[in-house]
């Protein structure tokens, strides 16, 4: 069964304290892994797509990496405005456009 597991569930950081969020997955024939950011009262906002092991993508203080079993979202020198819930998602095995989402990591960055 396809599964996506994110850890930790919640993370509290001091401003400038770098860390990583994890997304592990079990699907056959990965057809992409997506990272989203969700702010309270808003819909998920697309951040990155990764398609193959070894691939990396960067955007400001965020860098996403991918291996054959998991993806990491590295946050370097975070700021309070990086506080949000970060979701990862993968397409289900068998084709089609259905995504399965992890339950997210709730990040809070404090001054």
* Contact with other proteins (CB under 8 A) among 14, 29, 41, 54: 41
User: What six digits make up the tokens of 68?
Assistant: 């054959």
Outline where DSSP puts E strands in the chain: 3-7, 10-14, 19-26, 33-38, 45-50, 56-59, 62-66, 70-75, 84-91, 99-101, 105-110
Is residue 91 within the footprint of other proteins (CB under 8 A)?
yes
Whichever of 75 and 90 has its CB closer to other proteins, that residue is: 90
Is residue 32 within the footprint of other proteins (CB under 8 A)?
yes
Minimum distance, C-beta of residue 111 to other proteins, in the bound complex (Å) = 27
| End-to-end Cα distance, the chain | 41
Is residue 54 within the footprint of other proteins (CB under 8 A)?
no
Is residue 25 within the footprint of other proteins (CB under 8 A)?
no
Strand-strand pairing, 10-14 and 105-110 = parallel
The residues that touch other proteins, with contacts defined as CB under 8 A, are 31-32, 34, 36, 41-46, 49, 51, 87, 91, 96-104
């Amino acid at each position: 069964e396809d599964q996506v597991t994110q850890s930790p569930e919640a993370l509290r950081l001091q401003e400038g304290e770098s860390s990583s969020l994890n997304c592990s997955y079990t699907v056959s024939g990965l057809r992409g892994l997506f990272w989203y950011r969700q702010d309270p009262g808003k819909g998920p906002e697309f951040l990155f797509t990764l398609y193959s092991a070894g691939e990396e993508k960067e955007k400001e203080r965020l860098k996403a990496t991918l291996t054959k079993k998991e993806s990491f979202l590295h946050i370097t020198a975070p700021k309070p405005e990086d506080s949000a819930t970060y979701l990862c998602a993968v397409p289900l095995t068998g084709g089609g456009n259905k995504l399965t989402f992890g339950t997210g990591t709730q990040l809070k960055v404090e001054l």
